[in-house]
Chain A
Amino acid sequence: MNTNIVEGEQAHSHGPAKGIGRWLFATNHKDIGTMYLIFSLIMLFVGGAMAFIIRAELFQPGLQLIEPEFFNQMITMHGLIMVFGAVMPAFVGLANWMIPLMIGAPDMALPRLNNLSFWILPFAFLMMLSTLFMEGGGPNFGWTFYAPLSTTYAPPSVTFFIFTVHMMGLSSIMGAINVVVTILNMRAPGMTIMKMPMFCWTWLITAFLLIAVMPVLGGVVTMMLMDIHFGTSFFDAGGGGDPVLFQHVFWFFGHPEVYIMILPSFGVVSEVIPTFARKKLFGYHSMVYAIVAIAVLSFVVWAHHMFTVGMPLAGELFFMYTTMLIAVPTGVKIFNWISTMFKGSMTFEAPMLFALAFVILFTVGGLSGIMLSLASVDFVYHDTYFVVAHFHYVLVPGAIFGIYAAVYYWLPKWSGRMYDESIAKLHFWFSFIGLNLTFFPMHFVGLAGMPRRIPDYPLQFADFNMMISGGAFIFGMSQLIFVYVLFKTMRSGEKAQHLPWEGARGLEWTVATPAPYHTFATPPKVED
């Protein structure tokens, strides 16, 4: 795609507002994107600190550091914060920054809604974190908050948890509506929907998933609220309800949710790999169809999270086969990425390293997913560390490495400065080694029968757990390198070239470096 380079746009545009007002009343997509990304980085460290506490307790068998009650709160909060506070806002931040730049739009379509959807989040998460200091402690029922653990047996602070979920659900829905409207209306002339960059495509589908399932999450927590305070019995068998219903409704939200957390990463990797392989993305059309297929299938596989709940055989088979079917479009994507690299002139800068690790390690997580999809053996794997290993392999090198690849890739354009390549590579290698050291042994202890969410374990798991905790320490600490890279780039990074990556294509590289406050005031021309 050849595009006309438009420079010096900022000459006749006003700059950002002065002081704190710039951020409080921000309507600029770049400012809001930056705030989302910083917020999610802070949340990554908050959730990471909780993971530290968990791994410190599990360093040795026996109970040393914390009470089991507090351990339960830590595993719950770690999950909730990482899913809703770190990964999802980071992707919304990337969407805010990149979608208008990639489709040649001056801003998001609904800038004030954008401001609202960001500013809800800090308050929502402050409220959730405050529950840790309340009487009875914070949520302690696991991030999946199964009833009746989260209704009959929940601490009093559960009401605050419910409102937090309502707030961040609203935030996500508004963000998603914004993305859909922006993409459908504001593409530059000539950019047809099948010429759109892959990142925009994945976000379009993600946004539709969000619009479809976040209200279901809102509904299920509303039912919990009514069960707790208004005497209904949606999930109380004594009043004619059914706790299993909770699991069905939750996972009807929950399974599309896991694709919400991975699809934008697919998009990032589909941008990064062609750049550093210096080839066009292989099989663009099949990539688009694969995303759509994954999104559609995600609505009919939810019960594979609950094979052991006592489903009839026909149900188990249905959910098993539909789940295995997802491997097909996912495989299409993996092979397309590999084909893109095939015979390419590859170089291995930090974004490419993260993208490559994504492809390899996401496949590892995908394969353990195939193992888990087998209903008959899932009875053995269910609720063991094997499951923990599986979803961390898809979320950490999947979602989080995707975000790192995106940040390193676009940082020169955002900031106008180049990051320090050697320290960034250090960040990558420490993360890569730490993460594998942490999550790979979890497969073994899981298969040997170590249950998840328990603060203690028998002696035979001691060596592997020590290794896991050590790996977690390396992985956690190496994220500080990332913060250092960011600071160093902002303070003393070399000035970035206009096109920092020689293989990069797309509208976002046609704007000046750093990206001016207002871009594409006049729409660019998109030619083939």
Chain B
Amino acid sequence: MKINGRLLKISQPLPLAVICVLMFGFCFLLVPLYSVFCDWTGINGKTSGPYQSKGNEEIILERKVAVQFVSNSNENVSWPFKALEDRVDVHIGEKRQVEFNVNNVTDAMVVAQAVPSVSPSEAAPYLHKIECFCFQQQVLAAGESKNMPLVFFIDPKLPKHITKLTLSYTLFDVTPVVDTTI
């Protein structure tokens, strides 16, 4: 395009439009980035997936910490969900199994998903779960009551000033989502 006898480089809007498309993509990239960042720093109380053995889990310290369990149901969930033990005192490094119970009092099959969170969030990277019911969706038949296990241990690198931590589970009803994917 020529204006006033000066040539206008019309190719210039193109890089700007490309920036727009890239920023749109970046917005979606923020989703995995956010998860990675939270996993990496342990902020947001997010716990990581199943513990990968590094061969040092045999160290058991004399020091004890209190682990409290909190169980919540999301607002649409009417099934009673609770930890069988409210609180356990464990040696650091010691593997411990606790159980949670959920009772599907409805007369339909439901699919539940538990979402964990650790408080203080600083402790989240030091709580290792070897086995957890939150790793899979839990299918509950009508009227079924189910005890669900959690096996965990506390990493010996846990900062000294943390003497008590809380592991909270919120139970969500994901039946509609699962239905649509089937």
A binds B: yes
Question: Which chain B positions have C-beta within 8 A of A240?
Answer: 113, 115
Binds A, one of B5-13, B83-91, B158-166: B5-13
By beta carbon, the residue of chain A nearest B41 is A312
Contact between chains at A215 and B34 (CB < 8 Å): no
Question: Which chain A positions have C-beta within 8 A of B6?
Answer: 186, 523
Contact between chains at A239 and B174 (CB < 8 Å): yes
Residue in B23, B170, B180 whose beta carbon sits within 8 Å of that of A215 in the complex: B23
Which residues of B in the span 36-75 have a Cβ within 8 Å of any Cβ on A? Answer: 41, 43-45, 74
Which residues of B in the span 99-114 have a Cβ within 8 Å of any Cβ on A? Answer: 113
Question: Which chain A positions have C-beta within 8 A of B173?
Answer: 238
Which residues of A in the span 194-223 have a Cβ within 8 Å of any Cβ on B? Answer: 211-216, 218-220, 223
B139 to chain A, nearest CB (A): 15
Chain A interface residue count, Cβ-Cβ cutoff 8 angstroms: 46
Question: Which chain A positions have C-beta within 8 A of B19?
Answer: 211-212
Verify if A173 is at the interface (C-beta below 8 Å from B): yes
Verify if B21 is at the interface (C-beta below 8 Å from A): yes
Contact between chains at B122 and A249 (CB < 8 Å): no
Given A238-B115, A239-B174, A312–B122 Cβ distance below 8 Å?
Answer: yes
Verify if A233 is at the interface (C-beta below 8 Å from B): yes
Given A177-B16, A311-B43, A312-B122, A239–B177 Cβ distance below 8 Å?
Answer: yes
Contact between chains at A185 and B8 (CB < 8 Å): yes
Question: Which chain B positions have C-beta within 8 A of A107?
Answer: 3
Question: Which chain B positions have C-beta within 8 A of A383?
Answer: none
Verify if A127 is at the interface (C-beta below 8 Å from B): no
A41 to chain B, nearest CB (A): 29
Contact between chains at A177 and B26 (CB < 8 Å): no
Residue in B1, B13, B27, B121 whose beta carbon sits within 8 Å of that of A249 in the complex: B27
Contact between chains at B172 and A237 (CB < 8 Å): yes
Question: Which chain B positions have C-beta within 8 A of A522?
Answer: 4
Contact between chains at A110 and B24 (CB < 8 Å): no
Proximity bits, A362-401, B CB within 8 Å = 1, else 0: 0000000000000000000000000000000000000000
Given A238-B74, A238-B113, A310-B44, A214–B20 Cβ distance below 8 Å?
Answer: yes
Contact between chains at B30 and A184 (CB < 8 Å): no
Residue in A113, A233, A248 whose beta carbon sits within 8 Å of that of B177 in the complex: A233
**In the complex, A242→B116 CA distance in Å?**
12
**In the complex, A311→B4 CA distance in Å?**
56
Contact between chains at A215 and B24 (CB < 8 Å): yes
Residue in A211, A219, A231 whose beta carbon sits within 8 Å of that of B181 in the complex: A231
Residue in B4, B27, B34, B41 whose beta carbon sits within 8 Å of that of A218 in the complex: B27
**Main SS at interface, chain B:** helix
Contact between chains at B9 and A248 (CB < 8 Å): no
Verify if A106 is at the interface (C-beta below 8 Å from B): yes
Residue in B24, B30, B74 whose beta carbon sits within 8 Å of that of A252 in the complex: B30
Verify if A37 is at the interface (C-beta below 8 Å from B): no
A184 to chain B, nearest CB (A): 7
Verify if A315 is at the interface (C-beta below 8 Å from B): yes
Contact between chains at A181 and B4 (CB < 8 Å): no
Verify if A109 is at the interface (C-beta below 8 Å from B): yes
Residue in B8, B20, B28, B172 whose beta carbon sits within 8 Å of that of A173 in the complex: B20
By beta carbon, the residue of chain B nearest A522 is B4
Contact between chains at B9 and A185 (CB < 8 Å): yes
By beta carbon, the residue of chain A nearest B14 is A177
By beta carbon, the residue of chain B nearest A153 is B75
**In the complex, A58→B151 CA distance in Å?**
54
Question: Which chain B positions have C-beta within 8 A of A186?
Answer: 3, 6, 8
Verify if A149 is at the interface (C-beta below 8 Å from B): no
B24 to chain A, nearest CB (A): 4
**In the complex, A242→B32 CA distance in Å?**
11
Contact between chains at B31 and A245 (CB < 8 Å): yes
Which residues of A in the span 149-194 have a Cβ within 8 Å of any Cβ on B? Answer: 173, 176-177, 180-181, 184-186
Contact between chains at A218 and B24 (CB < 8 Å): yes
**In the complex, A173→B30 CA distance in Å?**
21
Contact between chains at B113 and A310 (CB < 8 Å): no
**In the complex, A264→B153 CA distance in Å?**
57
Question: Which chain A positions have C-beta within 8 A of B20?
Answer: 173, 177, 211, 214-215
Contact between chains at A238 and B180 (CB < 8 Å): no
B4 to chain A, nearest CB (A): 5
Question: Which chain A positions have C-beta within 8 A of B74?
Answer: 237-238
Ordered by A's residue number, 12 sampled pairs between the chains whose C-beta atoms are within 8 Å are A109-B1, A177-B17, A180-B16, A212-B23, A215-B26, A219-B26, A237-B170, A237-B172, A239-B177, A240-B115, A248-B34, A521-B4
Given A177-B13, A215-B21, 11 more pairs with CB closer than 8 A: A106-B3, A215-B24, A215-B26, A218-B24, A219-B26, A220-B27, A238-B74, A239-B113, A239-B177, A240-B115, A245-B30
Which 7 pairs of residues, A with B, have the shortest CB-CB distance? A219-B27, A238-B172, A215-B23, A215-B24, A216-B27, A312-B43, A177-B16
Interface residues of B (CB under 8 A from A): 1, 3-4, 6, 8-9, 12-13, 16-17, 19-28, 30-31, 34-35, 41, 43-45, 74, 113, 115, 121-122, 170, 172-174, 177, 180-181
